[in-house]
Amino acid sequence: MKHALMILGFIVFLFSPSYADIYKYTDEDGIICYTDTPLSKNANLVMREKTEAKQSQPNTTRKISQDSTNYHSLVHEKATKYKIDPLLVNAVIKTESNWNEWAISKKGAMGLMQLMPATARELKVSNPFNPEENIEGGVRYLRYLLERFNGDLTLALAAYNAGPTWVEKFGVIPPITETKQYVRKVLSLYNGNTAHPLTELDSAQDKPERVYKVVLKDGTVLFTNSTFLVKNTVGF
């Protein structure tokens, strides 16, 4: 089965404030697709077009602020509910998505706290791009990991990034460079040391991945990081 990730996060930054409705669906090969034209009855609307006619209607979509201001009350509420320090939740969100509620990773993790699809389903998070649902699920999952690893914050954070199975396999932070750097960044932010050395690997990971615009024969527009439709792609 082929696997490719259609990246919605890039669409937000690559277009002006006016953009088309964006739908999400999974095709017969299991590929997650985002498009402005729904090709399946199971397609879900994840972003609505902004137009002058719609400006008078209530806008329930939060503006991407890349800071904690818009989410302070939500973080405090969920952290208190699950008995976790709000500052720790802030550090996780900053590291995971930089406060971008529409963020999608290369592996498919979504939203502020970067929940993987399977984890979101287990946590009953129906819309991972909804800030309240995402933070609720992420904080709840973090509490679960803290209990699973007997309150060891380092191991819990490693498990949040790499998965609990890898942590249990080694008994320490797994020998995965990304996970080691992730734990270091979160703990650095949590302890108040916002600056951390930028390694060559950090720079490579932060470098934007090339995204392709695919125009199908029927005019449907898709955005993807895969080149399997290379004949109809325009890179940017």
- Determine whether 117 is exposed, middle or buried from the number of CB atoms within 10 Å of its CB (0-12, 13-18, 19+): middle
Catalytic-residue membership of 178: no
CA-based max dimension of the chain: 57
Calpha distance 22→10 (Å, rounded): 12
Instruction: Please list the pLDDT of the chain residue by residue as tens digits (236 residues).
Output: 444 444 444 444 444 343 456 667 676 666 666 666 665 556 676 665 443 333 333 333 444 455 567 899 999 999 999 999 999 999 999 999 999 999 999 999 999 999 999 999 999 999 999 999 999 999 999 999 999 999 999 999 999 999 999 999 999 999 999 999 999 999 999 998 543 333 333 333 444 455 556 666 666 666 565 555 444 444 44
- E strands of the chain, at which residues? 22-26, 32-35, 44-47, 212-215, 221-224, 233-235
Cα 101 from Cα 61, distance rounded (Å): 10
The tokens for 199 are 């390694």
Give residue 23's pLDDT. 66
Sign of CA dihedral 49, 54, 58, 59: positive
pLDDT at 171: 93
Which sequence spans correspond to the domains of the chain?
9-61+208-235, 69-196
Burial of 129 (0-12, 13-18, 19+ CB in 10 A): buried
| Size (the chain), residues | 236
Catalytic residue among 28, 49, 77, 96: 96
Write phi, then psi, for 32 (nearest 5 degrees). -80, 125
**What is d(CA 58, CA 42) in angstroms, rounded to the nearest whole number?**
26
Location of structure tokens 């998070």: 125
Cα Rg, the chain, nearest whole Å: 19
Q: What is the token pair recorded at 57?
A: 């209607």
Apex 200 CA angle, 194 and 205, nearest 5: 75
Indicate the fold that domain 69-196 takes in CATH: Lysozyme (1.10.530)
